[in-house]
Amino acid sequence: MGNTLPRILLTGFDPFGGETVNPSWEAARALHGRRIGGHRVVARQMPTQFAASLRLLRAALRETTPAIVLGVGQAGGRTQLSLERVAINLQDARIPDNAGAQPIDEPVIAGAPAAYFSTLPLKAMLAALHEAGVPTGISHTAGTYVCNHLAYAMLHWSARKRGVRAGFIHIPWLPAQAASRHGAASMALEEMVRGLEIALRVAAVTPHDIRRGAGAIA
């Protein structure tokens, strides 16, 4: 019966920037195979590489034919789960990726729109996460590194698929990663997993988002 359920493609990244762990993959793989909101989660690890991540994403999309696509990435220094509202068609890497590539001022997909908005019910997800006591906010920038790169590609793909919803969530460092960074924010893996499960359940069962203020003043 599980194989007949619609699928959620959930992606995380391998470690980068000298780290030995990436909480995005640890959280994603913890949910692999789980049934959430009438869907089955299929987790896939993506390389922190501009070119290779696109190839692996496309292969995963063909393999899973998902109804929902959610990318997860590490954003060290953030204090909460960040529900990303927009991905932009720009690569501008401050550091090289894991393959040594460092694109500057280049499009993710040449000739494609300048940006895409998430098609997940972000405000409903935010409300549910707050009710559950999970620190969460709406973010209006996914950066210009590999996370934004993959988020944009997911949204570009889903824009051509009727009924498919896609989006991206950034998560903080794990406590072990933050321990050597004085005053750095972190979140326990169990809390990240719980938050992602709540977010996915809301995404799976909420056809229309709620109206709730979550914008930014500056």
Q: Which sequence positions are flagged as catalytic?
A: 84, 147, 170
Q: How far is CA 200 from CA 87, 153, 156, in A?
A: 19, 19, 20
- 91 close to 103: Cβ distance less than 8 angstroms: yes
Q: How far is CA 160 from CA 10, 146, 157, 163, 214, in A?
A: 19, 22, 6, 9, 28
- 118 close to 62: Cβ distance less than 8 angstroms: no
The torsion region of residue 84 among left (phi > 0), alpha (psi -120 to 50) and beta comes to beta
Q: How far is CA 163 from CA 57, 159, 176, 197, in A?
A: 19, 9, 39, 21
